[in-house]
Chain A
Amino acid sequence: MRAVIAEDSVLLRIGLVKVLEAAGFEVVAEAGDAEAALAAVAEHRPDLVVLDVRMPPGFTDEGVRAALVIRREWPDTAVLLLSQYVEERYAADLLSGDTRGIGYLLKERVADVEEFIDALRRVAAGGTALDPQVVSQLLLRRHRDPLERLTRREREVLELMASGRSNAGIAERLVVSESAVAKHINSILAKLDLPRADADHRRVLAVLRFLGVG
């Protein structure tokens, strides 16, 4: 798996390269701004691009715009965005097309190396990795009531599911058995009137659609 990194902070870029290498990626190019990142993607055609949202020259949402260009031009490229804060509307922009191979995480999650590596692999494999904060913001925007019918535990499961985790991942996170997670998920899908889907990313998609994204 080949990867391109675009991040303007040199310190963090070095850290990211190390983490990606630890996760088994080959970092083929590093960029300090969105222009250079797009050029590097055009040249190397990587499997994964890790983008910082705020980059020179404007330090606003250059990364998001670059991500949208990459998704349009090279749809097979997985994109993971890192941001100082998460803004669910960026997520909505990103997920409005194909949600395969999209990640959007808080920058500080990189520090949780194991989890971050897990997210990298998930995204590179065509899955989704959404920051828990994005998901809770999405839940906040949905004031309608099917959500109110969920139990507290089901809400937790829904959040983890929406952030792109597999059953095994959810089970590990909540320290319960996988069969318990499956039960929760069935109950959630029934309460929210969502289609049963076997493939992980389809299920994520359904949940995100329900939450008003895409």
Chain B
Amino acid sequence: MRIPTPPRLPLRPFRDARRAFALVAAGIGVQLAFCVLLAAPWLTVNPSHPLLVIAAVIAPFAVAAAATPWLTAVQRERFRALARVDIPRTPEGAGPRGIGTRAGRRQAVYHLLAGPLAALGGALTFLLGLVSLGAATVYVWVWALPVSWRLAQAGYTTQAAYVTAAGLAGLGATAWLTGALARADGRTALRLLGPSREERLARRVEDLTERRADVVDAADAERRRIERDLHDGAQQRLVSMAVNLGLAKVTLTDLPDDARKVIDEAHREAKEAIAELSSLVRGLHPAVLEDRGLDAALSGIAARAPLPVRLKVDLASRPSPTIEAVAYFVVSEALANVVKHAQASRADVTVERFGGILLVVVSDDGVGGADPSSGGTGLAGLAKRVASVDGTFSISSPPGGPTVVTVELPCAL
């Protein structure tokens, strides 16, 4: 998607004079139609009663306001066809709701104020153009008009030369003014008929939010896929290898010592590889999380932690898989940090839901002094992962402890 910045009007005096002229002329045409609408009550009914007069004045404006979406479409078409400017559609106001919306009201301002002003300016400019044309060709008139039509006996005088020069300058001015007017009209139209800056930014934010959510979800799906592949492939092979080695250990009792040693060694290595792979998989996206949700997955982490962990999970329903994955990651990283750095004797984990917020709190009674800005801990990565779903992450860890990590994750309700 393009960033919807207002395009510049591709108009320069003279070179684009024709296009500007057409644009302004069309603008005048539209406004003339509006004038006809204004005049309609007088041309038809010609009211005399004061109330009727007021009604006759107000009614055309009301009609114009009601016709805002249609008028906007007309103006949009005028700019598209004559100035090659596409005015981006507004998210609202394009529909039949008209001036019920902010965008609709902005459009009404254009139709009732900016448009007529531009047309008035255009009419004056064209008048100047006509006068200038007459003045520039004064010698032709001197020569061509019959005597009885002339204003005065100008003849081929110096005065006429001045008039000619002034006329030429006036033509130049007309061309420039037409261009300027077209540009100003275009800018105003873009501002009033197109989306406002706020609307553009809001649309952009929406767009980016959606795309970021897609990226986060995709990353998560990828983690799940890797976990599946590892489990169905490498892990099964390793287990089967370890089983075979274990069987060899049990059954081949009459082997020489060094052969037995080799088998022992290989068996131990295989088991360590299995354990490593398991913990890697758990860090990615454990199957238990997908099957049974946060409570089960977290009790697994807590049970494996080498210190007593008190776990409280209170969820009426399961949040989205992505939020679950982030919450799991938060607890798993935070506990890993506690084990590595805190010298704590116990840790507490609570996961609760308050309306649209999933609150995850991990605390320990360790030495404190954890610093999320230092690269040594996983806290920075944790903060990033939380931010990726628009969550908030805070840590309180005074020297001497206790340390409390608080994470709030938005759950789509």
Contacts and interface: CB of A to CB of B under 8 A. Distances in A.
Interface of A: 9, 11-12, 14-16, 18-19, 22, 54, 60-61, 84-89, 107-108, 110-114, 116-117, 133, 136-137, 139-141, 143
Contacts of B300: 85-87, 133, 137
Given A137-B300, A137-B303, A111 B239 contact: yes
B200 to A, nearest CB: 47
Given A18-B243, A140-B311, A60 B250 contact: no
A143 B249 CA distance: 41
A9 B231 CA distance: 11
Interface stretch (B21-29, B114-122, B285-293, B332-340): B285-293
Interface in B230-256: 231-232, 235-237, 239-240, 242-244, 246-247, 249-251
B174 to A, nearest CB: 79
B195 to A, nearest CB: 48
Would you call the interface of chain A mostly helix, strand, loop, or mixed? helix
B168 to A, nearest CB: 87
Contacts of A19: 243, 246-247
A120 to B, nearest CB: 12
B274 interface: yes
Contact of B291 (A22, A61, A140, A143): A61
Given A12-B239, A112-B271, A133 B247 contact: no
B243 A89 contact: no
A139 B308 CA distance: 10
Would you call the interface of chain B mostly helix, strand, loop, or mixed? helix
A88 to B, nearest CB: 7
19 contacts: A11-B237, A16-B243, A18-B243, A18-B244, A19-B243, A22-B251, A84-B231, A85-B287, A85-B300, A108-B235, A108-B274, A108-B275, A111-B267, A113-B250, A133-B303, A133-B304, A137-B302, A140-B303, A140-B311
A9 B303 contact: no
Nearest to B231: A84
B311 A12 contact: no
A117 B235 CA distance: 21
A117 B296 contact: no
B175 interface: no
A133 B292 CA distance: 16
Q: 10 tightest CB-CB pairs across the interface, nearest first? A: A113-B246, A111-B242, A15-B243, A136-B303, A11-B240, A137-B303, A85-B288, A15-B240, A9-B236, A108-B274
Contact of A117 (B240, B250, B288): B250
Contacts of A60: 291
A11 B286 contact: no
